[in-house]
Structure 1
């Protein structure tokens, strides 16, 4: 068993194919196939099922995939420790990011500070729903993930506190109120934002014994904003998920906080921050500092 075989196995599992893995690794497809076959022969076990459309990791392969990622992660930490000792900062940092809150607001500010101090570290960012990011951290697919806290399964670093706000068309009667209740919103045509937000909003209404009158379900933020702007419904979103220039680009949208206020804490999650590679620990420290100047922008 070689380290290269493990790297190829992990890439095949993540890309779900030999061809795509070969392109990502910069080697031939036959080399990928040979490495997987050799690893399976040595372990006397089938790791992947070869299908026409895609490659599927077997049940045993999924368990061994966790081991392979752990070995690769430890090797990366060793390389980074050695680089730091030589006065160099190199390596790979894998980040899992969810939605606009982290991808558009938090991550750019943190990355700017991180790149200024560690220009030699390669950064790989995978984006997905909240639940997917947490699973990536658990599976060691990423070194650090953005998440809604608390989460007792992981080491965490709190960053910012956000609040949920209602987005209303400018001429909507509820804009006359300084804050709105879930009961007032539940009787209105509702646009349910997907891509993670629905998992936050639907339990909120259910906990109050209410159900929004969902007219549309949309995964793209730009479409949700466009529909509200056209008075085709209302919605609820985390304030930090909204674009910086919302007041200029969507002048017919009015924000109102919920009553009672609904807040969430967003931060970073790690499998084990104390044992993480130097680049991961540096990212956590820089994120703490960069987030201090970021607050929910306030309603208008």
Structure 2
């Protein structure tokens, strides 16, 4: 069993195809097939179920994938620690990010400083909803991820704190309010943004035993802003995700009572994190000190 075989196994599982994995790795499909076949023969199990156009993990393949990614993560940490002894001139850092708050506000500044300080570290960024970033962390597909806190099963550091706000068309009756109670958002059509605040917003209504009239589910914040601007409905988003410029067709109003949100970085186990991961976290903490100390 080799690390190359485990890497190919992980990538085939991620992309659900031998051809896609071969293209990503820059090798032939036959080389990918041979590596998987050799690994299956050594382990004595079938890792994938083959179909005409795609492959899917078998039950035992699903179970072993986490172990394989754990071994690859440890190998990467070993290589990173060796690189650290040489001045961290080489290595790879995989980051999971979500939504405008992390991807547009926090990440660019941190990455700019990180690339300046560690130009030899290759950085990969995957973007998806916050719940997907958590899944990537569990699957060891990323080394560190931006998450909505709290996340008790991870090692985390807080970077930013903001609040949830109601988005209201400028000509709506609620536009005159300085703060908006949650129940007032249940009379109109509601636009749910399936990004960084989805879980928090959903939990907020559930805890209040309220049921919004969800008309739209938008995967992108821009779609939510446009829908509110057209008067298609109301929404709740995080203040930190909004554009810095004022928009003429919608208003943001705090909720009453206010609802805070914290964004931070998470790793599975800080003791096993690579030097590049730890350096990224340390730099992020320098640039964005714990918001709890600045209230």
TM range (shorter): over 0.9
Query: TM (normalized to structure 2)?
Result: 0.94
Q: Size of the alignment, in residue pairs?
A: 292
Q: Please say if residues 160 and 262 of structure 2, whose CA atoms lie closer than 8 Å, have aligned partners that are also in contact.
A: yes
Structure 2 residue matching 1:232: 3-state secondary structure: coil
**Which of 255, 272, 289 lines up with 1:275 in the alignment?**
272
Moved more, 185-194 or 27-36: 185-194
Cα deviation for residue 195 of structure 1 reads 3.5
Moved more, 71-80 or 253-262: 71-80
Cα deviation for residue 193 of structure 1 reads 1.5
Partner of 1:113: 113
Partner of 2:252: 255
Cα deviation for residue 200 of structure 1 reads 2.2
Q: Distance in 2 between matches of 1:270 and 1:154?
A: 6
Cα deviation for residue 87 of structure 1 reads 2.4
Q: Distance in 2 between matches of 1:279 and 1:88?
A: 8
Structure 2 residue matching 1:210: 3-state secondary structure: coil
Unpaired runs of at least 5, structure 1: 296-300
The residue correspondences of 1:1-40 to structure 2 (distance < 5 A) are 1-40=1-40
Cα deviation per residue 1:7-27 (whole Å; 9 max; x = unaligned)? 111111111110110011110
CA RMSD of aligned residues (A): 1.7
Q: Please say if residues 90 and 121 of structure 1, whose CA atoms lie closer than 8 Å, have aligned partners that are also in contact.
A: yes
Q: Please say if residues 189 and 233 of structure 2, whose CA atoms lie closer than 8 Å, have aligned partners that are also in contact.
A: yes
The residue correspondences of 1:230-241 to structure 2 (distance < 5 A) are 230-241=230-241
Cα deviation for residue 57 of structure 1 reads 1.1
Q: Distance in 2 between matches of 1:56 and 1:77?
A: 29
Unpaired runs of at least 5, structure 2: none
Cα deviation per residue 1:230-266 (whole Å; 9 max; x = unaligned)? 2221111011111233x1xx31111100010001111
Query: TM (normalized to structure 1)?
Result: 0.93
Q: Distance in 1 between matches of 2:86 and 2:149?
A: 36
Partner of 1:53: 53
Partner of 2:73: 73
Cα deviation for residue 274 of structure 1 reads 2.0
